[in-house]
Amino acid sequence: MSSVPTVGGPAAVDGTRPSAKRRRRGVPGGGGPSADGAPGGVKSRGGASRGAGWPFVVPFLVFFVLFLVVPLGFGLWMSLTDSSLTGNGDSTFAGLDNYTEAFTDSEVWQSLGNTAWFTLLSSVPLVLFALVMALLVHTGLPGQWIWRLSFFAPYLLPVAVVTQVWGMLYQPELGLFNTMLKAVGIDGIGWVVEEKYAMWSVALLTLWWTVGFNFLLYLAALQSVPDHLYEAAALDGAGAWRRLWSITLPQLRRTTGLIAVLQVLASLKVFDQIYLLTKGGPAGSTRPILEYIYDTGFTNYRLGYASAVSYVFFAIVLILSLAQLGLFSRRED
């Protein structure tokens, strides 16, 4: 006579099943209550481990709230008032008047246009030149350490030094660039004193100064490309250009997207090199939006209006960043 197996295993001698005993004793995994009243011992330990991370997070949260959330809230409130640096009109609530004035201010649109023009002039070559420089170094140029040092060293210089050096190079009479042009029979140009050349000069300075950072990102990405891909392509008879287009560039797609986003954001925030080199001139042709906000707040003392222009610019940057991230994410899919 065959025995019929019971669900949950054989019964114990006292008529109860082992699982039932584990539940009554609060054994972990048995589903019974733990000592602290939690539904299960495993869940209780999980909750304790999650709580153990708070001491590490709280200091960051304190600084995050003090130096980001509070200033953001205070700036938003200030943009709705007629606050002045001199202290007059701090309590006057202006509503959306500052935002209405910002959208009708021709100087705001001119400085936004200058910022967009600089972003276009600087971002594209900063991505392309960095990629070419990294590819040249990665292919095995002799003396790689000197190339890496030469490409990255300018990025370590402070902006005051960079603008002083390039200001001398751009000097109309004794500057190196005009001296070289005159040596080949070309009249010198006003690099930073003529409107049609001033922004190009700032973009050239920025390219020399900051391309080293993007170069390092590309070089690190190139070193992470698996060698077996190149070996397989070589066995199939692929040449150097074919390997570049079919292996290297697709493998650098994520890095290119990251560099493009970071570079656009950095170019939109341009201020210091322009302020030190041209002070926004000539005739405001190089004044970016951040310099206009600075002039409005700290020269004209209109902190409320400067805050409103800041939030308008913040909204534009946020929209551009989300659109750029969405574009690159769609391409990856």
111 against 83, higher pLDDT? 111
Distance CA 183, CA 178 (A): 8
Q: Is residue 2 pLDDT above 80, yes or no?
A: no
Nearest alpha-carbon partner for 272 in 248, 257, 290 = 290
200-209 per-position pLDDT tens digit: 999 999 999 9
Q: Is residue 34 pLDDT above 60, yes or no?
A: no
The CA-atom distances, in angstroms, between 265 and each of 118, 268, 319 are 12, 5, 12
Distance CA 195, CA 206 (A): 18
Q: Is residue 248 pLDDT above 50, yes or no?
A: yes
pLDDT of residue 82: 86
pLDDT of residue 25: 46
Nearest alpha-carbon partner for 26 in 39, 16, 13 = 39
Distance CA 191, CA 177 (A): 9
Nearest alpha-carbon partner for 311 in 120, 123, 115, 108 = 108
pLDDT of residue 45: 58
Distance CA 26, CA 21 (A): 9
Q: Is residue 36 pLDDT above 90, yes or no?
A: no
* pLDDT confidence tier of residue 48, bands split at 50, 70 and 90: low
91-130 per-position pLDDT tens digit: 688 888 999 999 999 999 999 999 999 999 999 999 999 9
276-329 per-position pLDDT tens digit: 999 998 988 999 999 999 999 999 889 999 999 999 999 999 998 888 777 777
Helix (H, G, I), strand (E, B) or coil at 169: helix
Angle at 126 between CA 123 and CA 130, to 5 degrees: 150
Q: Cβ atoms within 10 A of the Cβ of 173, count?
A: 7
Which domains does the chain show, CATH number per domain? 113-303 (1.10.3720.10)
